[in-house]
Structure 1
């Protein structure tokens, strides 16, 4: 132990302290924290073997097996990696699952090398519990206002122009529609998503204790990530403001966000296979909502997008997507929005253009008592 060992979880997350996670990789992959790096004391097989030994023969036998499995060469390798981390992040902490044997062993081995590095009391389990409690508290305490608008209104763009916001789609790495996944289809695990959301809310409460919070109107599921019940319920009960945008402006925003900006990324990552990958992504995303579109409308939009893809690959121009996007908006997304609006109890307190929305937010959200 060191005198700097801590259970001040709030400071750790508010200050973005670097964290050295010495749990096994399988534990880290299930869930960790945004500023953590996995440098395990035991690999997955070693952890499993020691866990089995502990259950059958007790702690002393498990410790003995651990020392046997982590021989001199492995120990030296681990120490080298840990020492590098400590030098790079002297302000950080180390942790294991409960702040127990693995943390203390790591700390002791480092001390034998003349390196003192603090651990987090209670480990991952206590920090995770703290963040879940704080997320509930945030849902209860933060006054929320919901930014609504028809699909393609550019809500995320507007959201990111104000300080009084948390970008849920950004945290989930998903743009919240059938076409919303990123090029690598990467989203955080549900645990990591909840941890990131909780930390962002904690920071928001700390930096803007009297302010309201602007959130984009979202369904409970954003891609594969699911909003916690209490947080989503608070959003459903919150007042809303409506972003006005003309149809052709919406078409242009969708074209730029989903086609003009995405195609170069596919070219860069996949090179010669870029055309196939981009076509598969776009037409596959459309096919996933085929039943909801209906056969005739699906065939119309699919044909339009296929022609637009050929034009894009030949000329680099994305303007032919407009026809299919317009059909999607008028025949699918707009009617769906109107249907959902009828089934929501949310009170709309303001409606305006982008500049008007931003002015309203600045005036009304900076202090809510």
Structure 2
């Protein structure tokens, strides 16, 4: 018989693989870091089972699910073929879905546990750990006008925390262009993992952010720690910033995304400015569009946000940041 295991104990096992048996849609929203999705049911089948449960009976829903499960035993086993590590199987709350798959894998000789409480218990664990996290390091907060290349700087340091990368959003009106946004739950999972990896460092470089990145919210404790960090302002001239924006944003299908966002900015920038920018997009003059967006929108917005900040250092390039950090 398969035993259950608590989240805390499961995460202590180093040589194991987490198997998520929820639907692909559920898995995409969030999952345990590095877990493998072996869905018991497809998205549509899960919906159909739910309808049977509500509209017919629990018995019919269970029978339908069992029939689907038995017809796919070989495919489930194929998904984990070659895995030599111990398995920890989970579903939403540690119910029938994970129990069925765990028992199957157990009969085939795998060492397997069922995660007690499922992904719901893991979610509660993550929230608790984020709330309790002891920030032993000091944040050095990298600030600068849009297009300054702050993200590139972060990637040069091992002891850095790139919140925008975790969120898959650059924290502005155009911040989601070309990116697939993460859910709050998945963001929290990845954030906790990154924070754990920074233990042992005395200093951590991070980009200055508001508490919201797109639709995602930073833990209050983390945001407070960032606000208290030493602040570095990266000075980069307008043309260089416009060049950076052009290279990062105006690529492939992202161009159409930008154009559609511009068309919804008439109340912010005025009809004449928007029409001018849209025409320049159509002409392929992306440097012009980037520069005007910085002048007409981004720079004034950023300066207002940062007006009460007192900066500890002013730098012009990566080399000067290395001297400080």
Structure 1 residues 114 and 229 mapped into 2: Cα distance closer, same or farther (>3 Å)?
Answer: same
- The superposition leaves residues 341-367 of structure 1 with CA deviations (integer Å, 9 ceiling, x where unpaired) of 2234xx422221221113322xxxxxx
Q: Is the 8 A contact 1:239 1:349 kept in 2?
A: yes
Structure 2 residue aligned with 1:200: 194
User: Deviation of residue 5 (structure 1)?
Assistant: 4.8
Please state how far the C-alpha of 1:144 moved relative to its aligned partner: 2.0
Structure 2: how far apart are the matches of 1:308 and 1:41?
A: 46
C-alpha separation in 1, matches of 2:26 and 2:266: 38
Distance 2:15 2:305 in 1: 39
Query: Structure 1 190/204 Cα, relative in aligned 2: closer, same or farther at 3 Å?
Result: same
> What does residue 172 of structure 1 align with?
167
Check if 1:300 corresponds to 2:291.
no
**Residue by residue, what CA displacement relative to the aligned partner does 1:229-286 show, whole Å, maximum 9, x if unpaired?**
3322332232211112122211211121122xx13xx3xxxxxxxxxx73x4222222
- How many positions carry a matched residue from both structures? 319
Deviations 1:103-156 (A, max 9, x none): 333222223344432333332122111111222233754432211011111111
Please tell me whether residue 281 in structure 1 is matched to residue 257 in structure 2: yes
Q: Is 1:219 the equivalent of 2:184?
A: no
1:153 aligns with 2:118: no
Q: Distance in 2 between matches of 1:137 and 1:288?
A: 41
Residue 256 (str. 1) matches residue 247 (str. 2) = yes
User: Is the counterpart of residue 243 in structure 1 residue 234 in structure 2?
Assistant: yes
Contact persistence 1:9–1:127 (CA under 8 A): no
Name which of structure 1's ranges 97-106 and 350-359 shifts more when overlaid on structure 2.
Answer: 97-106
Distance 1:115 1:336, change over 3 A: closer
Task: Establish whether residue 95 from structure 1 lines up as the match of residue 63 from structure 2.
Answer: no
Pair 1:38-2:32 in alignment = no
DSSP-derived class of the 2:115 partner = coil
Determine which structure has the larger helix proportion and give its number: 1
Q: Indicate if the aligned counterparts of 2:148 and 2:234 stay in contact, CA closer than 8 A.
A: yes
TM-score by length of 2: 0.83
Report the TM-score when normalising by structure 1: 0.74
**What is the distance in 2 between the residues matched to 1:178 and 1:139?**
33
Distance 1:51 1:169, change over 3 A: same
The alpha carbon displacement at 1:188 in A equals 1.4
1:226 positional shift: 2.6
- Give the conservation status (yes or no) of the 8 Å contact 1:86–1:117: no
User: Structure 1: which 5+ residue stretches go unaligned?
Assistant: 267-276, 313-319, 362-369
Whether the 8 Å CA contact 2:77–2:105 is kept in 1: the answer is yes
Deviates more, 1:118-127 or 1:143-152: 118-127
Which of the pair is proportionally richer in strand?
A: 2
Q: Which among 111, 116, 128 is matched to residue 133 of structure 1?
A: 128
Asked whether 1:189 is paired with 2:183, we answer: yes
Q: Partners in 1 of 2:218 and 2:104 — Cα distance? A: 41
Distance 1:26 1:179 in 2: 26
Summarize the Cα distance change of 1:132–1:255 in structure 2 as closer, same or farther, 3 Å threshold: same
Query: 1:177–1:67: structure 2 CA closer, same or farther, 3 Å change rule?
Result: closer
Q: Residue 29 of structure 1: CA displacement?
A: 4.8
Residue of structure 1 aligned with 2:323, choices 353, 359, 365: 359
Question: What is the aligned partner in structure 2 of residue 339 from structure 1?
Answer: 304
